[in-house]
Structure 1
Amino acid sequence: MSPTKRGVLLIVGALIAGGAGIGFGDRHLQQRAEAIEAELRSDHATRSVIVARDDLPKGSQLSRETVALREMPLAFTHDSALADSAWSRIAGRTLDRPITAGRAILPAHVKGDDRARLAEQITPGDRAITIPVSGSAEIAGLLAPGDRLDLMLTYRDRSQRETVPLLADIPILATGARLGDTRIGQGPGRYDDLTLAVSPVEAARITHALAIGDIHVVLRADTDDTPVQGYRIDATALIDKSPAADSDSSRPDVELIIGGQR
């Protein structure tokens, strides 16, 4: 073999060996990088939390434009940091203190809003429904969340108006926009509606009752668990005081659902 051919073969062999070495080196570096990344992930687990997109001053409103989701190491993330699943509870609310960009948002940063927490007051299986207080303003102005009510329905049956018990022992969730206990020294305030906790069937009854007549509220004592008997009151029952009339008026003519005991 001539020296020229031998030199060419040596050069080609060197190039092949060099390329193989580079390939093996790249693979080794990639495997090493993957191993280091896996080790970091195991040592520094992360979770997705809501953070301030920019520096937000006190009073800023939380919206999709002012916050972002970030993966943050568990070791450096506050236990109360809010995840994406909590967004519906804080969307639209305002900050009670300033937050710097990139910092996780905590419940303590968000100004309290009773209306935003209404869903948290509903027992699973119940529903919240709002009724107007017209027709019972005298007592309604003295009601508070936590009170229990009986509901009466007045409607027109053929040619005359009648009143019947609709529901009994229904708890109040909110009076107007007020949810929960009143602060010391704060009066009852004025409101135009009551929010009640009822079952889905009771919610349907109230909805239909509002469509055909007027609902009036009757306050119960805190310790009163007495069931309400069914009855029907009309103009004749108000005027006729004979025993026969009393017997007729006491006969249960309507079905009554007792609330608050599900």
Structure 2
Amino acid sequence: MRLRRVTRSPVAYWLAVIVLAAATALFVFRLVDATETLRARFGTRRPVAVAVDEVGVGHVLTGDDVVVREVPTTFVPAGAATSAGAVVGRTVVVALFAGEAVLESHLAPAGVHGLGAHLTPGRRAMAVPVGAAAPAVRAGDAVDVLATLEGEKTFAVAEGATVLAVGADAVTVALSIDETSGVADAIARGAVTLAVRSPVENPSR
């Protein structure tokens, strides 16, 4: 049996081409329209430096600590760094979470390191001696400094102080200028104790 040769109708062929082209154009149009809608809703994208992993207070950022990502402008917080170069080499003064945008307020000024990087104008760093019964504090905690003097009830000589560093025998805290004299007097005349304070109750300073 001989097979019949199937002939292709030119009209049907070009009709199929036109339909396919129209469908493609419609798809592209809808894709562009959806993109423009998202852009109008969330804004254009801009580079933002974000933390790769959790970063603790006092750490000096390196190139491995941050990555630059494109983020819709709507979701970019005020003060966000836009490049790794703007943050590498600077000291962290507010702990960072993984994936969090790095803000200027999270960092000490460029070139400022050590304890001084954690101090705002009017603040002083002071070491407070602690004993075995002291709470297990860490940098960034908020504490009250309590004084116990002979013949007097225990009272607070500093409240909501920020822990800057923890040593074997002393904890360094940030105090106001007025608080430093009271804490120094309490250390010289009696005993001092640290009490951890909720940062929600009174944010650390």
- Report the TM range for the smaller structure's normalisation: 0.3 to 0.5
Q: Indicate the structure with greater helix content.
A: 1
